[in-house]
Amino acid sequence: MGGMARSELGAYLTARRAAVTPAEVNLPATGYRRVPGLRREEVALLAGVSADYYVRLEQGRERTPSAQVLDALAAALRLDEDGRLHLFRLAGLGPRARAAAVPDRIDPSLLALMDAWPHNPAIVYNRAYDVLASNAIADALFHGWTHSHNLMHVVFTDPAARAFYRDWHDVARNSVAGFRLGHGAAPDDPRVRKVLTELLDSCPEFAELWARHDARGKALERKRFEHREVGPLTLTMQTFDVRSAPGQELVVYHAEPASPSSQALALLGSLAATTLRES
């Protein structure tokens, strides 16, 4: 395990330790505490390792934690499955993506399927959050991608993002957590590294969220938009791995039937169809 991975592992353990309160793991919160979450010796106690060993892990002086130790740490730090996978990857025990970058080519049958959903915005993006494909109604939802075809840039560098995403802070936090999970899977992917460097250099809010070391994939969730042509939309999104192209993900949005959002989405679909006919 290289120096960068050791540093990332220690930083991740430190960040996760700070996010767990004593009450969450049934420990007494007595006395003065210099840290917001658990103390190092408390994590060591919960994981069944020595405090000195755990300190060496956080400081990067211990290079080869076993799978058993990582399992115990994941339990002690209350990591979910994504967090546990990220921990194992950082320790060199989890599967890493092949060195090849995620292909930009989209399977033609997937494109045909997306185009068959005129009422469901659908996009495919890679680990760098570059949108590789989108159907017509998704193009309409995201205003024709006039700012960028990269979702991280849309969230963090588009001046209109805070109005478009009605829960911008939640979207920003979840986007960074998903981006970090992808980065952990392929830290040497040149496009991922380029987007990361750009955002760290240009966006303090991204840098602050990146320092939290949250690692979490997208799951079933709702997003609230304020579209400048059809008004407010609350959409549920489902995320799927594209098995034919590891590293690509398909996101499909839908609205509750007979809801105001469903009506707004139907209007958006009409606008998208009109744009297609005129192009």
Tens of pLDDT, residue by residue over 225-260, are 999 999 999 999 999 999 888 889 999 999 999 999
CA-based torsion, 47, 52, 58, 64: positive or negative: negative
Distance (Å, whole) CA 25 – CA 74: 13
β-strand pairing of 249-254 with 122-125: antiparallel
Quick one: pLDDT band at residue 192, thresholds 50, 70, 90?
A: very high
Quick one: pLDDT band at residue 74, thresholds 50, 70, 90?
A: very high
Phi, psi of 122 (to 5 degrees): -140, 135
Q: What is the pLDDT of residues 195-229, one digit of tens each?
A: 999 999 999 999 999 999 999 987 668 999 999 99
Q: What is the pLDDT of residue 96?
A: 62
Write out the DSSP string of 205-226. HHHHHHTTT------SEEEEEE
Paired tokens of 199 = 């955002």
| Stretch among 4-8, 61-65, 182-186 having the lowest mean pLDDT | 4-8
Q: What is the pLDDT of residue 208?
A: 96
Paired tokens of 252 = 């499909």
CA distances from 87 to 5, 76, 220, 231 (A): 11, 13, 23, 41
Quick one: pLDDT band at residue 272, thresholds 50, 70, 90?
A: confident
pLDDT at 178 over 90: yes
Q: What is the pLDDT of residue 173?
A: 95
Report the candidate in 64, 56, 58, 53 with the shortest Cα–Cα distance to residue 37. Answer: 58
Non-local (6+) Cβ contacts of 3 within 8 A are: 60
Inter-residue contact 210 to 225 (CB < 8 Å) = no
The pTM score is 0.83
Q: What is the pLDDT of residues 14-60, one digit of tens each?
A: 999 999 999 898 888 777 777 779 999 999 999 999 999 999 999 98
Phi, psi of 214 (to 5 degrees): -75, 135
Non-local (6+) Cβ contacts of 251 within 8 A are: 122, 123, 124, 125, 218, 237, 238, 239, 240
Helices 81-90, 67-76: axis angle to 10 degrees equals 140
Q: What is the pLDDT of residue 127?
A: 92
Q: What is the pLDDT of residue 2?
A: 44
Q: What is the pLDDT of residue 64?
A: 84
Beta bridge partners of 252: 122, 238
Inter-residue contact 194 to 202 (CB < 8 Å) = no
